[in-house]
Amino acid sequence: MSKTVGIITGSLRKNSFSESIAQYIKNHAPAGLEFKTIEISKLPLYNQDYDGADPKEYTIFRNEIQALDGVLFITPEHNRSIPAALKNALDVGSRPYGKNVWNGKPGAIISHSPGGIGGFGANHHLRQVLTFLNVLTLAQPEVYIGSYHTLVDEKGSLSNGDTKAFIDSFLSAFTSWIEKVS
């Protein structure tokens, strides 16, 4: 039975490295998984004043998350943490209180940065938030991709064979994780 996994990218930039990784994953999805991009760029900033009279973007987003069998977060690191747009999406999905659409979903994280530590700070800040939201986050393998800009071709597509193999092995572990906790 096929499972649908949402991909949420923390970068809003066109042709971002997060999008490059997401595209590779969509093109190399293991049997039994279908990956779907979940758009977060149009979400208004979360404001509790909206609870009960939510913007339509909130409702659409929450319904999309609710329908997923799992979620994969692909994020750059911004100032040793996660991008503001990603945090906003997490907040929108967890509110109003008691209606957390993330609750119990299997999840995983891929972080990246132009530096050598591959978004370690973002990865662990995101894990902290996901734990609170009860996203059942894959612990191993951890995926930090450093110096991503050196791993892509002139069109921005992932071209490094070792990185592709690493992502493929991660996808295998993530597939098993989803099957185990679903």
59 contacts: CB under 8 Å, gap ≥ 6: none
Residue 52's pLDDT is what? 84
Q: Which domain holds residue 97?
A: 3-181
Averaged pLDDT for residues 64-77 = 97
CATH number at residue 92: 3.40.50.360
> Residue 40 and residue 12: Cα distance in Å, rounded?
8
**Nearest CA-CA partner of 29 in 70, 75, 82, 89:** 70
Please tell me the total count of domains within the chain.
Answer: 1
The per-residue pLDDT for 131 is 98
pLDDT in tens, 23-57: 999 999 999 999 999 999 999 999 999 988 889 99
- Across the chain, mean pLDDT equals 95
Check whether 1 has a pLDDT greater than 80: no
37, containing H or E segment: strand 33-37
pLDDT of 85-124, one tens digit each?
A: 999 999 999 999 999 999 999 999 999 999 888 999 999 9
Distance between CA atoms of residues 7 and 165, nearest Å:
19
The span from the CA of 143 to the CA of 113, in Å, is: 12
Give me the pLDDT at residue 40, please: 98
